[in-house]
Chains A and B, each alone.
Chain A
């Protein structure tokens, strides 16, 4: 491309290729998330793009250092608010690794089950919005309805739809409600019907495929260099899923497939997410089948609150309760990194403890942060309208990206 200055030297003052600077965002109706694109455009073609994040920065990591380890859980709900249970599970597992304890077997199955439910809600959100953004509004309504089936269920389990705070160090707060399995099976049947509808509406829809296919391509080398994980990486064909490569909980005991793409464009990202929903439902069903009765939290009074019966009737119970609430659970001094497969990729927690009841440092590795880092490169040469679909498929969640 010739720059306007060069063209002026040649004596042909042509203003049709003048670079236009455009600031898109931070509150743009077509981007579901507070983000700003500083664009340089040649017509509608993106010449340069600077992605500005941080509009939803709440100081998550700083605030975690102010309270006890248990008080971090409500903060983690608000990281990726489309899949809060995975964040809960990730932090609980990291803290338990630092403490050197393991949650009871049933708690681990429940954590797996809830993680997969959260993954489904996250993917449904992403896919529905992908449809809405290219004009397929119906799909957004269908997937939101399907998501609501699961949110209802999460509400019966945790008391909240999004801000669940369900996990604790050493287990989970409460057992599954009665009839949970039966209701879940019923809901999954409904979701499968919705997915079949969405499949018909989108997967071979000419408009949708034209908008998605070949757009936002990233090679395997670039995806690895940008540390992409999750559906973004798997869309390029790299087989990396934390659940398979570094299994945590009981993921090595269940049977599931990892859907892979081949071209690394938006359409493959869409397909990978779409197919993962089915795999997540398979995992959830196996969890329910393999689960046996038992406690859902450790009985070690250093980590878990004693039953209320003991708190009110025995001095030890009261003291243990007091110590955990006021001083906090004391994790041994040291540091640890633990990763779980979030809906958007590897969700890692790097914890540093100085042995007191408060975290010394809590670092979250937010998966969509890396997708956003790659966006500038991905978008160059594409059209302005491609920002919307590419950004949608990166599925940036402000709470997680900006922390």
Chain B
């Protein structure tokens, strides 16, 4: 067991569901309600100093409970080390806290997770699809989405009458 995950486990005790360093990757699994707090600590604490949110994605463990895991990869440039933070998300309450208040890159990363897995991020300023079009049905990277499923043909969208993204009031300020 690495030193880093021990420190985090000591600091947060029962808020950390699991911690390990299998395959050499240090990993902590955090309960969803405390995820934002743990991420903030990891970014701001001078001992941790994880200044980069390198990646954020999700994995669909179809058939298990909780079904999804939101997986974040952090990198600390001053300490030169990496950490994986996993947040289990249940299918029935498919939500996770947004990290967009901590890192600007979280905005698009969370949009992609929402697009591909249908996980909603609480506190996200602009949660809409990013790779797919708004009329797309379902979430493509879920395991119960067949890879050869056809999508219905959608009518052409008038970009003036019905712009994408929708006009936000005062957005041009």
Contacts and interface: CB of A to CB of B under 8 A. Distances in A.
Q: Do A and B bind each other?
A: yes
Contacts of B59: 335, 352, 360-361
Interface string A324-339: 0000000000111101
B147 A335 contact: no
A110 to B, nearest CB: 24
A360 B53 CA distance: 23
A211 interface: no
A347 to B, nearest CB: 11
A38 B105 CA distance: 20
Given A66-B147, A337-B25, A337-B82, A350 B57 contact: yes
Interface string B42-74: 000000000111110101100000000001010
A403 B73 CA distance: 19
A197 interface: no
A62 B141 contact: yes
A97 interface: yes
Nearest to A63: B147
Contacts of A348: 54-55, 73
Contacts, number: 107
Nearest to B148: A66
B153 interface: no
A274 interface: no
Nearest to A338: B25
A54 interface: yes
A57 interface: yes
Interface string A168-209: 000000000000000000000000000000000000000000
B32 to A, nearest CB: 19
Contacts of A365: 54-55, 73
Given A38-B165, A350-B73, A225 B23 contact: no
B125 interface: no
Contact of B171 (A23, A40, A346): A40
Interface string B86-103: 000000000000000001
Determine chain A's interface SS by DSSP, over half rule: mixed
Contact of B23 (A19, A98, A360, A377): A98
Contacts of B77: 224, 238, 240, 245
A240 B151 CA distance: 42
B150 interface: no
A63 B146 CA distance: 11
Contacts of A224: 51-52, 77
User: Looking at A40, A226, A377, which has the most chain B CB atoms within 10 Å of its CB?
Assistant: A226
A47 interface: yes
A40 B25 contact: no
Given A57-B132, A373-B107, A227 B22 contact: no
B172 interface: yes
Contact of A50 (B147, B159, B165): B165
A391 interface: no
B82 A48 contact: no
Contacts of A246: 80, 82
Contact of B84 (A54, A62, A337): A337
B140 to A, nearest CB: 6
A374 interface: yes
B80 A245 contact: yes
A334 B22 contact: yes
Contacts of A350: 55, 57, 71, 73
Nearest to A401: B131
Interface of B: 22-25, 51-55, 57, 59-60, 71, 73, 77, 80, 82, 84, 103-105, 107-108, 116, 129-133, 140-141, 145, 147, 159, 163-165, 171-173
In order of increasing CB-CB distance, the 3 nearest A-B pairs are A54-B131, A227-B105, A373-B108
